[in-house]
Each structure stands twice: as C-alpha cells, then as structure tokens.
Structure 1
Amino acid sequence: MEKVLWISLFLLCAYCLIPGVMSLVFGFGVFRKARARREVAFTFDDGPDPDYTPQLLDLLGKYKIKATFFVLGSKAEKHAELIHRIHREGHLIGIHNYVHQPNWLLAPWKVRRQINRSVEIVERITGERPIYYRPPWGLLTLLDFRLRRQFRMVLWSTMARDWKSKGSLAVKKRLLKRIRGGAVILLHDSGTTWGADRDAPQYTIEALEEVFQEISLQDNQCVRVDEMMQLHEQGRETQVHMGKRLLLFAWMKWEKAFHLVFRVKPIDVQNRFLHVRVRVYRGETIRLSDGEEIRRGDRIVELHFDNGLLYAMATGSQSPVQLAIKMIRATEQVMPKILYYILQHPSFPDIKGVYGVSLIHRGAKKFGFTLGELPKGILSFFTRMYLRMLLLVLHPSGKQRLQTNARQLIPKTIAMSTKELLRRYSREIENPSGVEQDCSLSPSS
C-alpha cells in the first residue's frame, strides 16, 4: 500500500506539479514577459461577459489601447456578438478552455477536446483561427506541452488579484507598482468563475481608467500579446548580436596577444590571410602523400588563418559558395608566398614542411596538403572545442552550421612537405611582393 502511494505521488509530481512549477515559476515552454522597454500587454481572462466586457471595450477604445482576450468557449458561444466586437475593434483573441476547469483535473483528451471546440467557435465567429492559449489558473500538465505544436502558450508576469472585490484603489496600486516594460498583465473581464466575486470586474475597469492615464504620462505603450512576442524576438536577436560583437572583440584581442607572445606574423603584409611561425614539431609522426614524413623534433612552419580577415570575408559574402570562392582564391595567392618565406628563412635547410589544424580543410588536397585525424586525447578535445567556438564567433551562420553540419565540422591536421611545396610552386615565386622578409621571426623550440 505504501509503495502504491509513493508511486502515485511520483506520477502526480511528474504529470502536474513539476510542469506547473517549470512554466509558472521559470517560464519553461511558455511566454510570460518580453525584452521591451516601454511596451506592456494587458490581457483579460474568463470572458466574454455581457455586463463588463462592453464597458471594458469602451474604455480600451477611449484610450486607443489594443489588448488580448483569453475567452472561454462556452461564453463565446453564448455571446458571439461580443467576440465579433472584440475582433472588429482590433484586439487579439486567445483560448482559455471551453469551461473554466484546471487542466490538472482533466484527462488529456478532454483538455484537447475543450480547446478544439473553443477554437472552432471563435473561428466560426471571426473567420480567424486562434493560436494563442492560456490554461485556467496557468496550470499545465506534462502532456499540455504537446500543444506547443499548434498554439503559443501564454501566461503572465504581473497580476493584480482583481478577481476579489477589494475596490479599485487596491487594483490600481498593485498595477502601478508592478507594471514594467515587457510586462504581460493578467486581469479579468468576468467574475462568474469559481473563486471570483461577481462584481470584481467593475473595480478593475474603474482602476484601469486611472492606470491608462498614468501609463500615457509615463510614455508607455500598450500592445497585444502577439505584438509583444514579436518585440521579444527582436530584442533577443539584438541582444545576441551585441553579445556576439562583444565576444568577437574579445576574441580578436586574445588572438593579437597570442600572435605577440608566440611571434606569429603574417606571411604577406599586404594580404594577411595567413600567419605563420617556425617551431619544432612535438606531435605524432605524419606520413605525407608524397612519401615524406614529419616527425617529432622536425622544424616546421605552423599555419594560422587571420580570423579577423576570415570574419570580414564571411560577413561580406552573400552565400557560402561566394565565401568558398574567396577562400580558394586567397589560398592560391598565398601558397607560393609560403614557399618563398621558407626559402628566405635562416632555418630553411631544416624546415621539413608546413603544418596546421583547422575546420577549414575542404579542398585542401587540391593544393597539395595531406589531411590527417587529430590524435585522441585532451589536446584533441580542447582543440575541437576551440575551433568550434571560433566558428560560432566568426561565421554569421556559425550556430546553424554547428547544429546542422556537426559531423562535417571535424578539425583535421593539414600538412605538406617542403619538397612538395617546391615541386608545385617553385615556378610561381619571383620575390612575391609583400612577403614578410623580416628574419627576426626566429624558430621557436
């Protein structure tokens, strides 16, 4: 018996309590408030009511305010003329079930039946199918989250507890104290539901007369929930864009410091597409396609893309194809200059080849590079994370590419022997203009 009780409590928590807390308290899966400075959204539940809804509509019209009404299907069916008026006057209509019963006390199929019936009633009256839904008392179950496929779930950020007859002054004080930009305000235009006082909406309407005056003085703007959602998305995009710009700025500063500390310099002062440093190779043996090998202790030229230039190329390209063409052309121009740099370097006889690690390796074989897998281990893991973060920062569609092309975005080693460079590009080097000839870039070890 005790075991059955514990199982029942667990199922109750999983089905009702946890989803309810997640949505009401943390806003999971629902819209509660927006990133907005001046806009607020007034919403009215439990109507339409033949006594109070017309008064409320008159008041909204007087102040030229658009609001959102979450209506009960049973009342909409009885008072079709009010639904028609709400729609005609430019307000948004959402669904609040057919009757005011909490979803926690209804079977999932009954919730769906109530919603669908209400939708059909409103659509028949207005000609538009409502897609916004607020559950009674804001209580959602686990299965209610499936409704997100068809509806935008809307709760609230501010309430005035106006379902009780405590006078207009109490409602006014609560509203003026709690209204902020981005607020979604819960009010009621009917007092016939369980727990409400029948005359409570009268005090709400009286309070709103003064609240609307105060809001206009504060230069706030009242909008519908759908308009608030749109503002929220715009604000989120702006915030993400600003955050990305800040991250990019910090990344570029980090890269500049890295180049300074490790003496990484551009191969071409006029075209900074590629940066290099000479160092001793410390990794596992790399077997190249021409039969040569780069072994631990060999001196190599390490390759680094200029990420600032890559970002400029990416943002200046109208499509991935255009970006790819730009990179191919830049690589074609820089390859002979890599060879010239090696030939002019004091350590030339000891430089075995060039080496780098990059996500950008498609088409590298065309230029003579051998592609290899990164050895498994901590270094490989952090290299992958670093390069993926770099793509997220630099590429305008970096997040989408990481989500859709995750399997393709695997960093690989790219390497080529000095002999292969000579074979392929020796005819193209005649002291290429702009090549860095400052031999102070000494080998690191």
Structure 2
Amino acid sequence: MQTLLLWMFYISTFYAFIPALVSRMFGFRVFRRGKSKQEYALTFDDGPDPVYTPQLLDLLKRFDAKATFFVVGIHAEKHPELLKRMHDEGHLIGIHNYVHKSNWLMRPVTVRRQIARTEAVIRRVTGEGTTFYRPPWGIVNFFDISNSNGRRIVLWSSMFGDWKASIGAKQLAERMLKKLRGGEVMLLHDCGTTLGADAGAPQNMLIALEKLLVVAQERKLRSVRVDTLFCRESASRPATTERSNTSWFKRTLVFGWLLYERLFHVLFRLRPVRKEDTIFYYKRSTYHGPNVNMENGRWLEKGDAVVELHFDNKMLFQLGTTAKSMVHLAIQLIRIVKRQLPDLAYRIADDPKMNGIKAIYAVSMINRGPEKLGFQIRELPKGLFRIVSTLYLKLLFSVIHPSGPERLNEKRDEMVPKMIVMPIDTLFDRFWIGDSYHTSQGQSTTDSRDAAPVLHSGVTQDANAIQETVRASQAADTRSSS
C-alpha cells in the first residue's frame, strides 16, 4: 500500500501539481499579461453557444472591440456558422480542447488528439489554423509546458467568477471595472453548459461587459486580440528577459520542490542525516529491484531490507548556483557526502529499527565519483520507474545545472539516472567511528582504532580521484564542443 501511495504521489506531483504551480503563479512558458498601457484583451472560454455567442459578437461589433475565443471543439463542430462569424469579424480563435476535460485527467497523447481534432474543425471552417491554446480551467501538465510543439499557452491575469449566476450583473461589472487597465488579460465565458457553471450566467456577463466597454471607451482603452497584445510584449521585451524568466523558473521549482519534500518527508517518514545542512534524508525500506551482485559474492535481492537515500533538493540547488561547472558541482557533492556518511553510519548503528539492513541505496544522475566512496553503480532496469525517475531528475538538473537545460540537451544520452548501492558492512568499514558494529550476517567491521587511519589514508586517494574526474570531464567537454 505504501508503495502504491508513493507512486501516486510521485506521478501527481511531477505530472500535475508542480507544472500547474510554475505556470499559474509565475507564468513559466505561458502568456498571462501584456505590456501595453492602452490595450487589454477580452478572452472567452467554452463556446460557441447558439444563444449567447451571437449576442456577444453583436456587442463587440458595436464597440469595435476585438476579442479571443477559446472554443471547445465539440461545440464549434455543432455551430460552424458562429466560428466563421468570429473569424470574419476579425476575432482570434484559440483551442480549449475538443471536450471540456482537465489535462490532469488525460494522457499526453489524449491531450494532443484533443488539440488536433479541435484545430481540424477550426481550419475546416475558417481555412486557417491556430497556435493559441488555453487548457480547460487553465490546468497544465508536465508535457504541456515541457513540449508545447510551437503552441502558445494563454492563461489570464484576472477572472471574475462570471460562470455563477448568483454574482449578478452589477457585482460582476464592479469586479471587472476594478481590473480594467492596459495589459490585462480578462477571462470570461460565453457558454453556461460546462460542469460547475450556471446555464443563465452568460446573460449577466453580457450586461457587465457592456458597462466595461463604455468605461473603457471613456478611458481610451482598446480591447485587442491576444496575439496583438502578445506582439506588443515581444517587441518591448529586453534582451535579458530570457535569463530573467529562467531565474524565476528556477526559484519557482525550488519553492515547489521544498513544499513537495515537506509533504513527502511527513508521509514516508524520511529523516535527515544531520539536523542542519544535511545532504540527504533516509528511511528503512524494502528493495524491489533486480538482483544486484554487490561485491565478494554478496547479492542484494528483492525483499532485502535497505536504507533508501534521498538527496536534499535545497542543498543541491544551492550547490548548483555557486558551482562554476558540472565537474565543480560533482566534486562539492562528493566531498559533502563523504563528510556525512559517518553521520549516516552512526544513525543506523544507533537505531534498533535498522537491524538487518543489507545495503544503502539511492538513484542519482551524479554517478561519476560515488564509486570512490565505496558505492557501486548499476543500470536501472527498463520500466515505469526508470521513465519517471528520468523525467524528474532531468527537470531537477535543468535547474541546478550551472549551464542550465542547454547542457542537458547537448548530452541527453549521458544524463541517465543510475542505481548506486553500498553494502552495509562497507559503510561501516569505511566510515564508522565508534565502537565495533556487527552486521546481521555476523561480520564485524573495523573498530574506532582502525577507522581513523582508514579515513585519513583515504584523503590523498580521494583527492587524486577527484582530479581524475576533473580531467576526464574536461576532456569529455572538449570533445563535445569540438
């Protein structure tokens, strides 16, 4: 049951919650607001509707206002004449999926089919396709923001609850007027048949919208299509904007991961190796992977008790922002792990619940160097766990990597997560500083008098190993850039 909950938590967090957080709160890879002082955008979802959309088009025409309609494909297919009228009167048509269903509840291939089917309807009626897309309820998944296929995802900067008739036209107009300013992207609805909406609500929206258009005309504000507002923003964007967006994205992902980690630690009872500045958290777990020949004829088998390690994302990000290169990051990480492995050994030895542990185990993309500490590197078996681990770790490394996601694209084949394993008695042979420790197999490890010489003699070897890693990595970097 715990394993099932773990998988559900992993998938929902990285497929849905974090992408929604970074897009809705910080606008990563979505358009939410323009830069214009005198232009704003009216956007309408869920139509076309045979009752309310014609009235809306009449109202917009009266004020010479242009708008953007994110249509639901199944409605557009039923009312092609309204789709054609939108196009003929100069409005922009975008996609709102073929049926009004959340992208969280659909596979990536299903979302793509929804978009393609709706675009086919638009193209058949108007003779033109569209690159503008708004997912239902503004909810995106991981694949929406990681691979947009040239589409521009449009959200909004203000919404008003106009899908509820109980708000009333007067209160709705007051809400809308408070947000009337240049650059605003307003979310409204010209159809009341969507789940959670009231059938007659668009009538209040039309009354409130007329009041807004009158006031906008008095203030010399003009309603334009989203693509017009987007072009204004692109033209005024400074050359440093892309770096700024990336910085916002990094900070947002770290924020999301910290929230995720807190919940993850509570749910699965992970404990820090140190109270402060810990590099990893740990818990007792049961191994479910393929059999691993660790060393000296010893095997890690399915069902064996292991200590499962999880790197602290906050410290990884802090190291990544100060590292001069990926090699520098790896060196810092190896040094910190080496300093904290004695703490891990102490915690395992001091905890009766850790009796019978056979190995310590983790999954990581930093798999050049851990073998110098006594870890063994093994390939992850093909399957769902490898796919999910790869997606998550690549997303993580696109943030903490000193060179950003560009380096990941250049060395995509090399950025593969691997299993790192260390037999429990090897941990105590190398890193235990204290009274003798006995494994469940009856083997005794080095006592405190022998541990210090082992650790001190390893300093020179580790320094040489790190230099070897540096030279090898630099040589690889040189080959990749030549």
Tell me the TM-score normalized by structure 1: 0.53
Specify the alignment match of 2:216 in structure 1: 215
Specify the alignment match of 1:227 in structure 2: 228
Give the conservation status (yes or no) of the 8 Å contact 2:73–2:99.
Answer: yes
Alpha-carbon distance between aligned partners in 2 of 1:211 and 1:125, rounded to the nearest angstrom: 31
Alpha-carbon distance between aligned partners in 2 of 1:164 and 1:140, rounded to the nearest angstrom: 23
Give the conservation status (yes or no) of the 8 Å contact 2:181–2:221.
Answer: no
Specify the alignment match of 2:41 in structure 1: 41
Specify the alignment match of 1:143 in structure 2: 143
Specify the alignment match of 2:112 in structure 1: 112
Alpha-carbon distance between aligned partners in 2 of 1:39 and 1:30, rounded to the nearest angstrom: 19
Alpha-carbon distance between aligned partners in 2 of 1:147 and 1:119, rounded to the nearest angstrom: 18
Alpha-carbon distance between aligned partners in 2 of 1:9 and 1:206, rounded to the nearest angstrom: 44
Specify the alignment match of 1:194 in structure 2: 195
Alpha-carbon distance between aligned partners in 2 of 1:147 and 1:59, rounded to the nearest angstrom: 37
**Displacement, 1:237?**
3.5
SS state at 1:187 partner: strand
Specify the alignment match of 1:100 in structure 2: 100
**Displacement, 1:218?**
1.1
CA deviation string 1:206-253 (max 9, x = no partner): 11111100011111111100000001112214997xx9xxxxxxxxxx
Give the conservation status (yes or no) of the 8 Å contact 1:22–1:28.
Answer: yes
Alpha-carbon distance between aligned partners in 2 of 1:171 and 1:116, rounded to the nearest angstrom: 34
Specify the alignment match of 1:4 in structure 2: 4
Structure 2 spans left out of the alignment, 5+ residues: 245-323, 325-405, 407-482
Q: Which moved more, 1:34-43 or 1:63-72?
A: 34-43
Alpha-carbon distance between aligned partners in 2 of 1:128 and 1:161, rounded to the nearest angstrom: 32
Structure 1 residues 4 and 187: CA distance shift in structure 2, 3 A: same
How many corresponding residue pairs? 245
- After TM superposition, list the pairs within 5 Å mapping 1:46-61 onto structure 2: 46-61=46-61
- After TM superposition, list the pairs within 5 Å mapping 1:30-429 onto structure 2: 30-165=30-165, 166-237=167-238
**Displacement, 1:187?**
0.2
Structure 1 residues 224 and 238: CA distance shift in structure 2, 3 A: farther
Structure 1 residues 29 and 164: CA distance shift in structure 2, 3 A: same
Q: State the AA in 1 paired with 2:25.
A: V
Alpha-carbon distance between aligned partners in 2 of 1:2 and 1:206, rounded to the nearest angstrom: 53
SS state at 1:12 partner: helix
**Displacement, 1:143?**
1.0
Alpha-carbon distance between aligned partners in 1 of 2:54 and 2:146, rounded to the nearest angstrom: 35
SS state at 2:30 partner: coil
Structure 1 residues 147 and 90: CA distance shift in structure 2, 3 A: farther
SS state at 1:41 partner: strand
Alpha-carbon distance between aligned partners in 1 of 2:73 and 2:147, rounded to the nearest angstrom: 17
Structure 1 spans left out of the alignment, 5+ residues: 244-376, 378-402, 404-445
Q: State the AA in 2 paired with 1:49.
A: D
**Displacement, 1:85?**
0.3
Alpha-carbon distance between aligned partners in 2 of 1:8 and 1:146, rounded to the nearest angstrom: 21
Give the conservation status (yes or no) of the 8 Å contact 1:19–1:140.
Answer: yes
Alpha-carbon distance between aligned partners in 2 of 1:90 and 1:102, rounded to the nearest angstrom: 29
Alpha-carbon distance between aligned partners in 2 of 1:179 and 1:18, rounded to the nearest angstrom: 30
SS state at 2:26 partner: coil
Q: Which moved more, 1:80-89 or 1:161-170?
A: 161-170
Alpha-carbon distance between aligned partners in 2 of 1:115 and 1:4, rounded to the nearest angstrom: 32
Structure 1 residues 147 and 118: CA distance shift in structure 2, 3 A: farther
Give the conservation status (yes or no) of the 8 Å contact 1:158–1:179.
Answer: no
Alpha-carbon distance between aligned partners in 2 of 1:168 and 1:122, rounded to the nearest angstrom: 32
SS state at 1:211 partner: helix
Alpha-carbon distance between aligned partners in 1 of 2:183 and 2:148, rounded to the nearest angstrom: 22
SS state at 2:43 partner: strand
Q: State the AA in 1 paired with 2:200.
A: D
**Displacement, 1:146?**
4.4
Alpha-carbon distance between aligned partners in 2 of 1:212 and 1:33, rounded to the nearest angstrom: 19
**Displacement, 1:10?**
2.0
Structure 1 residues 16 and 239: CA distance shift in structure 2, 3 A: closer
Q: State the AA in 2 paired with 1:86.
A: M
Specify the alignment match of 1:416 in structure 2: none
Give the conservation status (yes or no) of the 8 Å contact 1:108–1:143.
Answer: yes
Give the conservation status (yes or no) of the 8 Å contact 1:36–1:235.
Answer: no
Tell me the TM-score normalized by structure 2: 0.49
CA deviation string 1:152-199 (max 9, x = no partner): 110000111100002111211111112221111000000000000000
Structure 1 residues 55 and 238: CA distance shift in structure 2, 3 A: farther
Alpha-carbon distance between aligned partners in 2 of 1:131 and 1:35, rounded to the nearest angstrom: 21
Specify the alignment match of 2:318 in structure 1: none
SS state at 1:186 partner: strand
Alpha-carbon distance between aligned partners in 2 of 1:159 and 1:6, rounded to the nearest angstrom: 35
Alpha-carbon distance between aligned partners in 1 of 2:196 and 2:132, rounded to the nearest angstrom: 24
Alpha-carbon distance between aligned partners in 2 of 1:203 and 1:92, rounded to the nearest angstrom: 23
Alpha-carbon distance between aligned partners in 2 of 1:148 and 1:172, rounded to the nearest angstrom: 35
Q: State the AA in 2 paired with 1:214.
A: V
Alpha-carbon distance between aligned partners in 2 of 1:147 and 1:135, rounded to the nearest angstrom: 14
Structure 1 residues 238 and 104: CA distance shift in structure 2, 3 A: closer
CA deviation string 1:365-385 (max 9, x = no partner): xxxxxxxxxxxx9xxxxxxxx
Alignment RMSD: 2.1
Give the conservation status (yes or no) of the 8 Å contact 2:16–2:104.
Answer: yes
Q: Find runs of 4+ consecutive structure 1 residues off by over 6 angstroms.
A: none
Alpha-carbon distance between aligned partners in 1 of 2:231 and 2:155, rounded to the nearest angstrom: 16
